[in-house]
Amino acid sequence: MSFEIIDHDLHGRIGKLYTRHGIIRTPTLAPVINPLRSPFPLEFFEKKFKVDLVITNAYIIWKNYGEKAIEKGIHELLGLNVPIMTDSGAYQILEYGYIDVDPDFILRYQKVIGSDIGVILDIPSGAGGTKYSVEWSVKETLRRARRAKMLWDIDGQGMLLVAPIQGGTRLELVEMSARSVASLNYDIYALGSPTQIMENYDFETLVDMMATARSHIPITKPMHLFGAGHPIMLSLAVALGYDLFDSASYVLYARNGRYILPEGTLRIENITKELPCECPICSNIDIESLKEMPEEEKVAKIAQHNLYVIMREIKLIREAIREGTLMRLLELRSRAHPLLYRAYRRLRKYIRLLERCDPITKPEVRGLFIFDGHTVHVNPKIVRYKEWLMERFFTNRQYAILLPAPSVKPFSIDPRVRNFLNKLEDKGIYPELCDILFYSEVFNLVPIELCEVYPLSQFEKGEIGHVKEELEDLIEYIESFIRRRKYRKTFIILSKKWPLRFFRELSSKGVEVLEGKLEKALERIERSIVLS
């Protein structure tokens, strides 16, 4: 076993990936190292940033060091003792269209230089290829993956092997690629060719690609997302089941004068008063001094700040998984950019994938934060509850009374609700004859017996409002619920928040809709039950 899952939330997992040079805690980000041009000493990655994994390019190592890397080993060559992942040179194919290396050779080269994790030399699909060219890249990558696995089964012990999934933006080809390589039982799988998509901020398409690939890879296998390094979108990728990331963004942004923050990016020349960060770099320098530094020194400082921010986000994501608040972090980050928010809303299409690893509960759970109507449709805990209630809640009672959910939680302790229930008990209507349920735009229906169960009282919500789509879902849910239970009669008591116009459709289907105060509603309920 090379990958052990410790905890999970949504499809995000905290795990341990076992390698020859130590354990990698996931989710994690591997900073991309170019040994020929690093903005600061390579030892900083291990001693200052304490990263669990770094990644470098085996093709560049071979072109510049050749046999020397074999003699010394990649760890001695870089002066690091942490696990090292090597890419095969496929990125150079994406950039330049060709590299002069044999797939079998570069695979063996990664092994003999002592890589902990190696990647086969695949053919990137890219973002703008024709259907023919993308299909060819998928088939050629699959052919190479089969051959690499055959070679690895013979003499490949020691190095974990990564199989990239290709297909670009053509989801049917991504699915075909994922299904095919999943049968080969690689140690790690990776989504290839996302870089151009991320550069264009096309996060909706990225969600489709990530979800399609992840859906067809076994839960027990870790997934890598190439080229993902900005903290703004890492929680989204983790929520969809991605465990490993790599990026050179920390230094590429720095060379362009871009200062990374969890919510976005600032340009150094536009910062005039103070650096909005308290990392070890920003705590010991002011903006004026930073701007006046020689260019290489300034790049080194900004690159270190950027990497501190990215690694902090990784730690924050791991803690959110432990606490069960990954959805909360994801929603906060998604509101930092309109296109990212559209991608977050896209998760509704992949609710089954989010729920695949999502725990039902945890020993110490945090309440849900419901920001708007979209949360209701993308949070697996809410969606799962609605399905369970529809499928599993059955009683022998003949009538149902639906009350508007009060603001007090749990709903059953609201004084007006208690008074109403007492009067129902006095008249022998409740609990013998009637189910009491609360309706709202969050959980749709909550039986009074369950209103204290997590998360039915453990949530805070903003003003969702009566969005047409949410209202239609609620009406459809109530109609289906009462139809399946075959109540002799159902009563819906309205409030100022829920006037008759919202429930006119139900009132025309044999449901008695009651307006006014609870006392008056009680009289009509009693009369209807007696007459029936």
Contact of 346 with 205, CB cutoff 8 Å: no
CA-based diameter of the chain, in Å? 94
Pick the catalytic residue: 9, 87, 116, 358? 87
Q: Sign of the C-alpha dihedral, residues 147, 153, 155, 160?
A: positive
3 state SS of 484: helix
d(CA 379, CA 371): 11
Q: What are 245's two structure tokens?
A: 């990331």
3 state SS of 499: coil
Tokens 């990026």 correspond to 247
Contact of 103 with 118, CB cutoff 8 Å: no
277 CB-near residues (< 8 Å, 6+ apart): 261, 305, 308, 309
- In SS3 terms, 98-129 reads as CCCCCHHHHHHHHHHCCCCEEECCCCCCCCCC
Helices (H), 183-294: 195-199, 203-215, 231-239, 249-255, 287-292
Q: Using alpha carbons, list the distances in angstroms from residue 26 to 192, 223, 245, 359.
A: 19, 10, 10, 18
3 state SS of 226: coil
Contact of 204 with 233, CB cutoff 8 Å: no
Contact of 53 with 21, CB cutoff 8 Å: no
Q: Which residues, in sequence order, are bridge partners of residue 266?
A: 259
Tokens 């999943």 correspond to 182
Q: What are 248's two structure tokens?
A: 């050179």
Instruction: Assess whether 435 carries a catalytic annotation.
Output: no
Number of alpha carbons in the 13 Å side-chain half-sphere of residue 159: 29
From the list 229, 239, 241, 432, the residue with the least C-alpha distance to 330 is 239
Radius of gyration of the chain (CA): 28
Contact of 170 with 192, CB cutoff 8 Å: no
Contact of 49 with 307, CB cutoff 8 Å: yes
From the list 188, 181, 5, 4, the residue with the least C-alpha distance to 85 is 188
What is the DSSP pairing of strand 3-9 with strand 12-19?
antiparallel
Active site residues: 87
